[in-house]
Structure 1
Amino acid sequence: MISLFRLGGLTAAVLLAGCQAVNTTSGGAVGVERKQYMFSMLSTEQVNQMYAQSYQQTLSEASSKGQLDKSSSNAKRVNTVAQRLIAQAPIFRPDAAQWDWQVNLVDSDEVNANCGPGGKIIVYSGLIDKLKLTDDELAAVMGHEIAHALREHGREAMSRAYAQQMGVGIGSALLGIGQGGADLANQVVEYSLTLPNSRGNENEADLIGLELSARAGYNPNAALTLWQKMGQAGGSAPPELLSTHPSDSTRMANLQAAIPKVMPLYEQARK
């Protein structure tokens, strides 16, 4: 019988053979230095292209419903804030200066915003209107979303999913277990690999977004009021142990610890 320790070693060896450790961004003043393991067969260009197609489909659907807002005061605010943040992105990764950045506002009650791979930004008007966001708070949430794109968290998640599928398949074959055992192995991989890293990704996006906002001349303290508003709008939250997002208290503590690091950048930008 194959021991679990030997199984883990064999599985890890196979998975690591298809992965490469990369630094997608510089650490910045906030010190995000974690290396990320990406599937070598899944390139940045492939992911960016796949998302660009999905992004255009989303815009087409919004346009057909008359929801693509190009001219309102909120649309102008979103574009202005985005351009100031985008100008700072190359500080974390120089190739971002060549990305095909796009910024759009969708007229919807949805309280959401995202920046997909390659710099494709969508903000939903419900986020601004329902939370009554200031420009500083808008910069905080958009900086957070841009940070996800700079760190390629989407590609990293896809790489983890590929590794998860391969790991379950390899483990099932080596142990000779059926579907029930494979499901159990899948849960083990999910809770020991996927969820902790997802929470780590959120923290990285918070920190890099904080620095982007500060460098763009937006008050980093607005990140605290932003997430307070988000928490109030979100209602009850699941325990942090089973959540892909940091708890409110953890998020606030991490942001408060990082604000002194970026405040000089904000003050310099204001001058």
Structure 2
Amino acid sequence: MKPSKTLVALGLAGALLSTPALAQREGVSVGQNSVFTGLVSADQIEATALQQYRQVLREAAQQNALAPANNAQLQRLRAIATRIIPHAIDWNPRAKDWKWEVNLIGSKQVNAWCMPGGKIAFYTGILNQLKLSDDEVAAVMGHEIAHALREHARERAGKSAATNLGANVFSELLGLGTLGRTVVGGGVQLIGLSFSRENETDADLVGLELSARAGYDPRAAVTLWQKMNAAAQGAPPQWLSTHPSGSTRITGIERNLPKVMPLYERARGGG
């Protein structure tokens, strides 16, 4: 499936809509990207992401689970994405060249993700089971896009590379050679990748700002996580399996709402 021309155009338009540098801008503050991102090529990570994303789409299509372009839920997701994407460049200059895609997969999984390079997937389970409003969908999408913009997968790969570097030296010292490197090393699977608590907090805050700048009520992030927590009382949804949840997370979001509400009000014409 080819990327949506509208999404690509808006991704490029972000360069023209960018606001002042992060250090001088309104909104949340989360610091610089991890130094570990510098250990792995962004091009390599994004190429790997594209390969894995294409595989997911192929498998979904084979199962007749990939939503067609005229699917109402998919159109809704893409419409929300077109409002969020122009603000991505503020957080990562590479985003202006990403070939953004949004796809919907028919599945009961309560799940969504965005891979490096702007490859987004939602599962019908998260839309249907949680009965998400547009503002809540924007909260999910903003959070997942934030992971890509902040290069959390690249950070994980960088940490793995650093570990493998140490393992290589250790293996050579012990005479383990290639076997030792293979046993200790390993690649990074980008789909379903678990992130650190710091990464998740980071994505919460950046996602909060992205949705606010796009004109979606950032307070919906609170109701979203209330729904997610309620859903987790039974079998935890897959989307929660690698995401910390609970009152601490909601408290953090509420504490940062005053920083993004003016952005939302301005986007809605109230500023």
TM > 0.5 between the two?
A: yes
Q: Residues 26 and 173 from structure 1, CA distance in 2 versus in 1: closer, same or farther, beyond 3 angstroms?
A: farther
SS at match of 2:81: helix
- Of all paired residues, the percent bearing the same amino acid is 48
Aligned residue in 1 for 2:83? 84
Aligned residue in 2 for 1:53? 51
Per-residue deviation, residues 119-170 of structure 1 (Å, max 9, x unmatched): 0000001000000000000000000000000011001001112222334565
| 1:133 counterpart = 2:132 | yes
Q: How much does 1:93 deviate?
A: 2.2
Structure 2 counterparts to residues 136-175 of structure 1, below 5 A:
136-167=135-166, 170=169
How many pairs align? 226
Q: How much does 1:62 deviate?
A: 0.7
SS at match of 1:58: helix
Aligned residue in 1 for 2:16? none
Aligned residue in 2 for 1:21? none
Output the aligned Cα RMSD: 2.6
Residue type of the alignment partner of 1:45:
D
SS at match of 1:87: helix
Per-residue deviation, residues 204-227 of structure 1 (Å, max 9, x unmatched): 000000000000000000000101
Aligned residue in 2 for 1:250? 248
2:221 to 220, 223, 229: 223
In 2, Cα distance between equivalents of 1:171 and 1:248 = 41
Residue type of the alignment partner of 1:234:
A
Q: How much does 1:235 deviate?
A: 2.6
Aligned residue in 1 for 2:265? 267
SS at match of 1:105: strand
Per-residue deviation, residues 83-139 of structure 1 (Å, max 9, x unmatched): 111121112223312111011011111110000000000000100000000000000
Task: Report 1 or 2 for greater relative contact order, CA contacts < 8 Å, sequence distance ≥ 6.
Answer: 2
In 1, Cα distance between equivalents of 2:151 and 2:77 = 22
Q: How much does 1:50 deviate?
A: 0.8
Q: How much does 1:171 deviate?
A: 6.3
Is this contact kept in 2: 1:26–1:93, CA < 8 A?
A: no
- Unaligned regions of 5+ residues in structure 2, if any? 1-20, 185-194
In 1, Cα distance between equivalents of 2:124 and 2:148 = 21
SS at match of 1:114: strand
Structure 2 counterparts to residues 1-271 of structure 1, below 5 A:
26=22, 29-38=27-36, 40=38, 42-69=40-67, 70-167=69-166, 170=169, 198-235=196-233, 245-271=243-269
Q: How much does 1:263 deviate?
A: 0.2
In 1, Cα distance between equivalents of 2:37 and 2:133 = 39
In 2, Cα distance between equivalents of 1:211 and 1:226 = 15
Q: How much does 1:71 deviate?
A: 2.0
Q: How much does 1:247 deviate?
A: 4.0
In 1, Cα distance between equivalents of 2:90 and 2:248 = 27
Q: Residues 118 and 232 from structure 1, CA distance in 2 versus in 1: closer, same or farther, beyond 3 angstroms?
A: same
Q: TM-score, normalised by structure 1?
A: 0.76
User: Which moves more between the two structures, 35-44 or 252-261?
Assistant: 35-44
Residue type of the alignment partner of 2:140:
V
Is this contact kept in 2: 1:100–1:119, CA < 8 A?
A: yes
Q: TM-score, normalised by structure 2?
A: 0.76
Q: Residues 232 and 40 from structure 1, CA distance in 2 versus in 1: closer, same or farther, beyond 3 angstroms?
A: same
In 1, Cα distance between equivalents of 2:231 and 2:37 = 37
In 2, Cα distance between equivalents of 1:62 and 1:247 = 29
Q: How much does 1:39 deviate?
A: 5.7
Q: Residues 101 and 219 from structure 1, CA distance in 2 versus in 1: closer, same or farther, beyond 3 angstroms?
A: same
